Amino acid sequence: MSDTLPATVETVVEQPMDFTVFANNPADMVRAQKSIILWCARKIQAEKVELAEAKRNHDAAKAHKWAHTSWATQVKKEEKRIEFYRKIKMALEAGYYIVPPFPIDIFAIRTKRNWPHHYDRHSPDNHDQPAQLLPAGEGRYVDPKPSRRSFQTQEGVKKDGSQNMVTYFRADDYQPVDFPFKLARSEIREATDAALGLKIFDRLGVLPRQRAPDPIVCGEILLPNQPSYAYSRFGTPKSVLFFVAWWLDTKTL
């Protein structure tokens, strides 16, 4: 049975007008920040209207005993989109600025899972864990690299008739967040801890990936409703990146 419902009065959703942010000085950045916050607020309201409409169609289809799976999926998508824009707005209001999508080295992910995904593999590497897309304030931060253990299993027999024992490695448990730069100034650690404490960002990382004189700490909010492979180590999920902290030792110049 189709999910299509009888014709109803169409709900008109006034989407916020998109615009391009441009800045070449600190004053421009402040004004741009305020504009994006206002845009987020309007976007959230528009998405709430879409969510209410999706829920109405879902409830009506369910009441008539029609197929309603598609509407249930749409409700979940709208809820995730609202939370995504809510986290963006919260990060902006907390004073974090959006930066270009740098290739960062992730050192913290937010999750509510008690145990990591196992990922049984022949190598002790490649067990990095994905972040969960959680509402702001939920979950905890852990290292994306879990502790690992090995085990052996028999897989067939060798030509000489002996057992063919194969070693696998399995993610065993989450590990505490390990800040990548051991000798970073206390101000950098405090700024990073403050970002972690807000529980807004889905992941935190550093740029560049290798040690350099002027690394940048970034917070990342992942876009919802992406394919599952985007959150594994084999794909790079789309996200919005925020500037958290930066330092430069002039002795290195």
Query: What's the Cα-to-Cα distance from 130 to each of 20, 91, 236, rounded to whole Å?
Result: 31, 21, 11
Checking if the pLDDT of 215 tops 70, the result is yes
Q: Could you report the per-residue pLDDT of 54-73, keeping only the tens digit for each?
A: 999 999 999 999 999 999 99
Highest-scoring range by mean pLDDT, 23-32, 136-145, 244-253: 136-145
Confidence tier at 98 by pLDDT (50, 70, 90): very high
pLDDT at 90 over 80: yes
Averaged pLDDT, 31-35: 90
pLDDT at 2 over 80: no
* Residue 218 burial (CB count, 10 A): 26
Average pLDDT over residues 116-145: 90
User: pTM score > 0.85 for this model?
Assistant: no
| pLDDT for res 211 | 55
Q: Is the pLDDT of residue 229 over 70?
A: no
Residue 250, phi then psi, degrees to nearest 5: -65, -20
| pLDDT band, residue 12 (cuts 50/70/90) | very low
**Regarding beta strands 140-157 and 105-111, do their DSSP bridges make them parallel or antiparallel, or are they unpaired?**
antiparallel
Distance between CA atoms of 22 and 18, rounded to whole angstroms?
13
Q: Given a cut of 60, is residue 8 above it in pLDDT?
A: no
Work out the pLDDT band at 119, boundaries 50, 70, 90. confident
Lowest-pLDDT choice from 23-37, 172-186, 224-238: 224-238
Q: What is the mean pLDDT of residues 88-103?
A: 93
Please give the pLDDT value at position 212.
60
pLDDT band at 6 (very low <50, low <70, confident <90, very high): very low
**Per-residue b/e over 122-153, b at no fewer than 16 CB within 10 Å?**
eeeeebbbbbebbebeebbbbbbbbebeeeee
Q: What is the mean pLDDT of the chain?
A: 85
Which has the closest alpha carbon to 217: 85, 100, 139, 107? 107
Cα separations (Å) of 71 from 1, 59, 60, 134, 215?
13, 9, 10, 22, 45
* Predicted local distance difference test score (pLDDT) of residue 62: 92
Instruction: Give 20's Cβ-side CA count (13 Å radius).
Output: 1
Stronger pLDDT, 35 or 236, i.e. the higher one: 35
pLDDT in tens, 146-160: 998 888 888 888 888
* Residues 125-139, mean pLDDT to the nearest whole number: 92
The better pLDDT of the pair 155, 229 is held by 155
What is residue 131's predicted lDDT score, i.e. its pLDDT? 93
